């Protein structure tokens, strides 16, 4: 095999290789419940603060409007006291899989764009957990938010909070 061909294969292999396991995230995520206790049937909102922890400017997709962070690539993990995930709503299934329930047709329209964050800067958003999961059963729920860091290819997880649902 000619040297040039070997060189090109080597360059290609390096350019498509997975990031190293020590890749560092470029941002952190912190969450806080808007209300730690909510009544069954009420909205459970969680505030999200994403902070650029790198030494360079980064770009983050931000949805127009507030309370729709799930459309900007944020995912939510919710667990009851038994460690089980409560039932997902039809909306959550739709945005995760792109598929409707049998016999239904719907569209999810996303409006937003990329914003730049300098080192140390933060952006705030919210996610309505009850839009994604059925939290109608009273009890305590552990909530954690995560988002893929497209630059480092690391999944960044937030702190874990507890939301209590009462009757």
pLDDT reading at 108 higher than 60? no
Residue 122 CB neighbour total at 10 angstroms? 14
pTM score, whole prediction:
0.80
The fold adopted by the segment(s) 20-166 is Immunoglobulin-like (2.60.40)
Rounded-to-integer distance, Cα 150 and Cα 61, Å: 10
Mean pLDDT of 59-81: 89
pLDDT tens for each residue of 113-122: 899 999 999 9
pLDDT tens for each residue of 125-147: 999 999 999 999 999 999 999 99
pLDDT reading at 6 higher than 70? no
Rounded-to-integer distance, Cα 76 and Cα 149, Å: 15
């Amino acid at each position: 095999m000619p040297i040039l061909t070997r060189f090109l294969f080597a360059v290609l292999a390096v350019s498509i290789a997975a990031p190293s396991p020590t890749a560092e995230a470029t941002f952190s995520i912190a969450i806080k419940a808007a209300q730690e206790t909510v009544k069954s049937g009420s909205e459970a909102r969680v505030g999200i603060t994403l902070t650029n922890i790198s030494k360079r400017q980064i770009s983050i997709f931000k949805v127009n409007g507030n309370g729709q962070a799930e459309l900007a690539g944020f995912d939510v993990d919710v667990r009851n006291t038994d460690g089980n995930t409560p039932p997902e709503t039809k909306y959550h299934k739709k945005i995760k899989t792109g598929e409707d329930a049998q016999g239904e047709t719907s569209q999810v329209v996303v409006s937003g764009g990329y914003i730049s964050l300098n080192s140390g800067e933060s952006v705030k958003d919210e996610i309505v957990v009850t839009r994604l999961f059925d939290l109608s059963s009273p009890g305590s729920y552990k909530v954690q938010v995560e988002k893929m860091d497209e630059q480092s290819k690391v999944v960044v997880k937030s702190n874990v909070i507890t939301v209590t649902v009462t009757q």
